[in-house]
Structure 1
Amino acid sequence: MRATAELTLFDIAWEDVLFVNLFSLLSLEDLFNLRCCSRLSKELVDSGLRHRKEINLSGNNSPHILRAFQLLSQNCRNVRSVNLAKCNWLHDSILSEFLNVNTRVTRINLSECPNISSASLQPIIIKCKNLLALKLAKCSWLTIGAMEALTLHHSGIQELDISHCTSLSERCITIFLLNCRLLRALSLAYIPCITDNLLYSIAKNSKEMRHLNIIGCHLTTDRGVGAISLYCTQLESLMVRDCPYITERSLSLLRGRVFIDRPKNYQQFNIAPNIGLPRLYLQV
């Protein structure tokens, strides 16, 4: 009687078992290590990457990471979340190649990517129609024109991070708020043009707002925060560190129901009131 042949990993159903139950437990590093084992394992991994829904290479600047990302662009077709923050090797052409074949992306993080330009946003704006979250913190290349194009094509964005994007104007951000009424998280940290006018716009148009970051927005005052406290009833967190004209007078309206990054006994010193803003005193 002939002995039954031993089963191997590759004998298990790929589509119904391995891709669904095994590949979701493996990191990209694990998959690339498996891919190097044999021709059959290479075929297995390449086929499995077509089902991969999350790519996270944040901060990975290893010598061969560019080649690895090119392989992902060749094989991935169903990615929904991609995190490429702090990737110095990333440039427009390879990012566009990846996004052109992964048009169902809903979340993308390109924060602190210095070697791409606003042109890299074109496939995001034109093809990624299901976009829900976009993070572009410290992207000095983000222009007013790119922001206006994003506003024109996307109204369903729920999370936006444009902290430190100093090239933007308050007007283009305001227009974005008018178009994106479902916004739940917004980070505007250290954008110098932000004033109470934008906070009024948030209060009027972003009733779904849960998380707001205006750290370092020196022109915001108690008046703007007061409007936020009155109309943004679902707010869960407010970041106001390094905002000298926002005091406990307005923050007290939110305490108890909203997390605030500044303690109640925060010491704040008087600032010259010659720009028409409320006089602030040392809080004890």
Structure 2
Amino acid sequence: MMSAMSDGEEDTQETDLFNIPWDDVLVPYIGPTLSVKDCFNLRCVSRSGKSLGESILKKVHKLVLSSTLSQNQGTIQVLRKNCKDIRILTVIPEDEEQDVPSKISAENFIILTSGLKRLQHVNLAHCVNLSPRAVHHIFVNSKYMTFLDLTRCCWLTDGALQTLMVHQRHLRDVNLRCCCQISTKCLIKLVALCSNLEQLNLQQLSSVDDSVLAAILHHCNNLNSLNLVMCQEVSPSAIERFLLMKPSVSVKQFGCRSLMCLDPTLYTLMRHNEGGGYMQMPMGLRFF
């Protein structure tokens, strides 16, 4: 008897939950607290749970996709069907600390992003299985992208980057670390066309030389952070000139060729992490 009552109480509670107004209460207030995994678990509860989970997914603006979820094509299809207004897309690597790449395939990425046109923040760091074709849609159709992280995306070619720079004029933060196929000429075009850049990471690009630094100096007036770590083709004189012309830019330059040939008395201005003021630091001590 008690067991029957308990079952009845559970049924009543479930009914009460789904009777709460979805559009006014559950979706706007409960939805933002649920992860993508939570929504998929909710879909498995009942037909009502499936409908509620998909209603919540339709309102999602930020999608953080783990490697586990990104490998399942059924999951990708559900996300494609429901998540059509994504503004922030992050694909999490298998193990970011160990540089273990994400396993999302080019095919699944194309399916996921084929209907997305409002992406503003895209993090594809360590997505080594993608291709220029896979990112073509978001490069062309997401007109207001401001953040793009392509760390260790060695598949990125000059052609793909040229497509990006033609269609994306609002980029402010770009990370091309270890994108080894990008040429010097293409980098010069990038900084010329995307002149609103505020942060630019060119770490470990052998194509970065004095001409690229000169183009950055000429075009990127809003720049406040530049990563040149291990860019060994940049000369000390080019770095010195850049720092003198743009003293407010924080430049990471450990590993640049003949770095210590620079005048040890040269000081650069760096934005203080606290308070928005400035502090002076000897350049010879700025190892990152």
Partner of 1:133: 147
Is it true that 1:239 corresponds to 2:246 in the alignment?
Answer: no
Match of 2:203 in 1: 189
Tell me if 1:143 matches 2:151: no
Q: Which residue of structure 1 aligns with residue 7 of structure 2? A: none
Read off the aligned partner of 1:110 and give its amino acid letter: L
* SS of structure 2 residue aligned to 1:217: coil
Q: Deviations over 1:204-228 (max 9, x none)?
A: 1111112211111012233232333
Is 1:163 the equivalent of 2:177?
yes
Root-mean-square deviation (CA, aligned residues, Å) is 2.8
Give the counterpart letter for 1:133 in structure 2: F
| Cα distance in structure 2, aligned partners of 1:120 and 1:222 | 38
Residue in 2 that maps onto 1:208:
222
1:128-162, CA deviations, whole angstroms, 9 ceiling, x for partnerless residues? Answer: 11111111111111111111111212211111111
Which 10-residue stretch deviates more, 41-50 or 13-22? 13-22
Deviations 1:225-276 (CA, angstroms, capped at 9, x unpaired): 23332443552x3221222323463794314547899984479xxxxxxxxx
When residues 258 and 188 of structure 1 are mapped into structure 2, their CA distance, relative to the original with a 3 A threshold, is: farther
Once the two structures are overlaid, the 10-residue window that deviates more, 223-232 or 106-115, is 223-232
Higher helix share goes to which structure? 2
- 2:114 aligned counterpart, secondary structure: helix
Give, in angstroms, the shift of residue 114 of structure 1: 2.1
Aligned mates of 1:134, 1:261 — CA distance in 2: 30
Matches of 1:167 and 1:251 in 2, distance apart? 36
Deviations 1:58-95 (A, max 9, x none): 5x236964432332112101110111143644222322
Structure 2 residue aligned with 1:276: none
| Aligned equivalents of 1:231, 1:35: Cα separation in 2 | 57
Distance 1:265 1:12, change over 3 A: same
Amino acid corresponding to residue 53 of structure 2 in structure 1: V
Structure 1 position 40, deviation (Å): 0.3
Structure 2: gaps (5+ residues)? 1-11, 94-100, 274-279
Residue 68 of structure 2: SS of its match in structure 1?
Answer: coil
CA–CA separation in structure 2 for the residues paired with 1:203 and 1:88: 34
State the partner residue of 1:123: 137
1:45 paired with 2:53, answer: yes
Q: Classify 1:9/1:116 alpha carbon distance in 2 versus 1 (closer, same or farther; 3 Å).
A: same
What TM-score results when the alignment is normalised by the length of structure 2?
0.81
What is the number of residues matched between the two proteins?
A: 261
